[in-house]
Structure 1
Amino acid sequence: MRDTDGAFIDVTDLRKTFSVRRRSGLLRRTSTEVHAVDGISFTLRRGEMTGFIGPNGAGKSTTIKMLTGILSPSGGRLRVAGVDPARDRTRLVRRIGVVFGQRTTLWWDLPLRDSYGLVRRMYRIPRARYEENLARCVELLELGGLLDVPVRQLSLGQRMRGDITAALLHDPDVLYLDEPTIGLDVVSKARVREFLLHLNAERGTTVLLTTHDLSDIEHLCERVVVIDHGRLMYDGALAGLHEVGRGERTLVVDLERELPPIEGIAGARTVRTEGPRQWLTFPATASAAPLVSRIAADYPLVDLSLREPAIEDVIARMYAA
């Protein structure tokens, strides 16, 4: 039995079925039902930051569209802040913010400042509240020099920060983020992550984050919900996901010269060598610090980098378990 007391977002046996027509002959077409979301259930409490992950085609975007009222469920029950999104979308839209990493909500040919002015009018945000929220976002996301730049001239990282600002001007209770750091450089990713942590701590904003980058989840979320083929696969801590899926991280080591494969380090194994570069894997639940210390002490180390396991690989191992 799920604990739904105090749930801010309550998803119960949620389903979405699409009818897809395919040509089966010269003149004939057949209709096939596709279960994009197939009976998932979970709850989010106010102020939670939760990762909502899965491989491409898992049903993540369809679920988000139902949570925002863009799509109506085929079955099940759905409540966001006590509101049925499909039946009362107008009321709900004032309480949510949405950012799609690959699609902007800003006006392409307008400067950021003008786009934000239009957002203020659409949401009927009081001017004092609007100016306070805009100033806060501009400061924390470092947008001061970009307000008069047309959106089409912004880099991907700048546009993403601009989209996040637009989604927050009306003080939403819930923020849905779909791949908010896709294609961003390391500095831009760090800035966006820091801002989201600040937002959650200061305002208690509930955040549902969809991403293929597990490092986003590690930096931002204590909890992760995994779906695949429209079904709930896992709901719990990220460390628990790695345990269930037997996830592995990869340490890429660059040495001064070509050497035999690194061996004898407990929990790690060398899976590939290429000249002075070696790839070592170790359990995703383990810290990389002891491994790095041992290599730095025993080998002529030049550089190293850490790669997180792909979500698809973790889920594949869940199936195989």
Structure 2
Amino acid sequence: MIEAEGLGRTFKVRGSLVHAVRDLSFTVEAGEFVGCLGPNGAGKSTTIKMLTGILAPTTGRLRVAGFDPTRRRTALARRIGVVFGQRTTLWWDLPLKDSFELVRLLYKVDRVTFRRRLDELCEVLDLSHFLRTPVRQLSLGQRMRGEVAAALLHDPPLLILDEPTIGLDVVSKAGVRDFLGALNAERGTTVLLTTHDLGDVERLCRRVVLIDHGRLAFDGTVTQLRALVPGEVTIEDAVARLYLSSRPDPRTRHPRPAPDPPSVTA
């Protein structure tokens, strides 16, 4: 579903070249639920933007759902759903149902399929009682459920989520987690989740990819991640240890390259 090989992205900032992502290689198979972790500035968002065609890679090869994201962005959009937790894709002043209708038109979903799919999403995400409410009047939890529904109305085989539970209360967060778990288990939808909430990872992800300084720092299961640190540790402890081990040397202007990812066996 996702094939990234030697992926790199550089930016020019005040005349200097910044390597946001460098030599990043990983794959995601159909039906997987993969968590993508990394500290702020690690290159996660840049990677997501390349996967969705928003940014073109500077180096490397990338295929998502069978397409080159930058060359076939429109075709790719019909095969993926994307949710950015800190940005809305809904129309702020329109009722939620009107936003969904606009999504239908954008993706050219026929009315019968749209109605069936919307009914399913309304039931599992509990949307029915605020469909006529303007998006600006929704609570954060309601809006996030609406964002997830909008990303799935065209029934994509791949769902990419960037911090989908950020700022949600415990009840809303549990509802979104339960839905995503069922979506992957029952419909076989492939999910790539970037998050700082390690509770999301422990409850949902069978595999973890950790990016630091734009490089792959780890690729394996949650159990294998914990095993990198001796003793009984939480996933937070293991991730923090990996972050600390790859911190840049303060005496240099550029970060040290991250070490090769630990060798693990699935």
Do both proteins adopt the same fold according to a TM-score greater than 0.5, normalized to the shorter chain?
yes
The aligned residue for residue 36 of structure 1 is 20
Pairing 1:161-200 to 2, within 5 Å after superposition: 161-200=145-184
Q: CA deviation at 1:244?
A: 1.8
Q: Distance in 1 between matches of 2:79 and 2:161?
A: 15
Q: CA deviation at 1:317?
A: 4.5
1:104 to 84, 88, 108: 88
Q: Does 1:131 align with 2:115?
A: yes
Note closer, same or farther for the CA distance 1:111–1:314 as it changes in structure 2 (3 Å cut).
farther
Larger RCO (alpha carbons 8 Å, 6+ apart): 2
The aligned residue for residue 60 of structure 1 is 44
1:234 to 218, 236, 242: 218
Which structure: larger Rg? 1
Q: Distance in 2 between matches of 1:319 and 1:113?
A: 46
Maintained 8 Å contact 2:56/2:70: yes
Q: Does 1:316 align with 2:239?
A: no
Q: Which amino acid aligns with 1:316?
A: Y
Q: Which amino acid aligns with 1:283?
A: V
% identity of equivalent residues: 61
Higher strand share: 1
Q: CA deviation at 1:88?
A: 0.7
Q: Does 1:283 align with 2:252?
A: no
Q: CA deviation at 1:219?
A: 0.7
- RMSD after superposition: 1.7
Runs of 5+ unmatched residues, structure 2: 248-258, 260-266
Q: Does 1:18 align with 2:11?
A: yes
The aligned residue for residue 200 of structure 2 is 216
Deviations for 1:62-107, whole angstroms, at most 9, x for unmatched residues?
0000000010000000001221001110110100110011111000
Q: Which amino acid aligns with 2:5?
A: T
Pairing 1:77-88 to 2, within 5 Å after superposition: 77-88=61-72
Runs of 5+ unmatched residues, structure 1: 1-7, 22-30, 247-266, 268-281, 285-307
Maintained 8 Å contact 2:5/2:60: yes
Q: Distance in 1 between matches of 2:65 and 2:132?
A: 36
Q: Which amino acid aligns with 1:35?
A: H
For residue 156 of structure 2, give the secondary structure of its aligned residue in structure 1.
Answer: coil
Q: Distance in 2 between matches of 1:88 and 1:183?
A: 34
Q: CA deviation at 1:204?
A: 1.0
- The count of aligned residue pairs is 248
TM-score by length of 2: 0.89
For residue 218 of structure 2, give the secondary structure of its aligned residue in structure 1.
Answer: strand
Q: Does 1:203 align with 2:196?
A: no
TM-score by length of 1: 0.74
